[in-house]
Structures are given as C-alpha cells and as structure tokens.
Amino acid sequence: MKTRLTCPCGEVIKGEDEDQLVELTQQHLAEAHPGMSYGRDEILFIAT
C-alpha cells in the first residue's frame, strides 16, 4: 500500500491509506497548484 508522496514543490503528503493519500494530494493540488489535477491512478503511480 502506498501512503506517501513528495510533490515536485517539496511538500511531503502522507496518508493513513491510499484513499486518504489521494484525497490529501488532490487537496494540496487544488490549494497550492490551481489548475493542476491528477486522478487516483496517476497519484498512486508516483507515490511510495
């Protein structure tokens, strides 16, 4: 299970599980990088 992602901007995002990681990553993108969005598969592909 992947629960961690480091955004190219340097922000480290951690979730309890993959669902939470996807949710937190999408929130980060909306707040810090308006106009950028990634789907679940794309987020989990770059997560560790």
Question: From start to end of 1-48, where are the E strands?
Answer: 4-6, 12-14
> What's the count of helices (H) and strands (E) in the chain, helices before strands?
2, 2
Per-residue pLDDT reduced to its tens digit, 2-40:
999 999 999 999 999 999 999 999 999 999 999 999 999
Q: Are 17 and 25 in contact (CB under 8 A)?
A: no
Which positions ≥6 away from 22 have C-beta within 8 Å? 15, 40, 43, 44
Q: What is the pLDDT of residue 39?
A: 97
Q: How far apart are CA 48 and CA 4, in angstroms?
A: 5
Q: What is the pLDDT of residue 28?
A: 98
Give me the number of domains the chain comprises: 1
Domain range for 23: 4-46
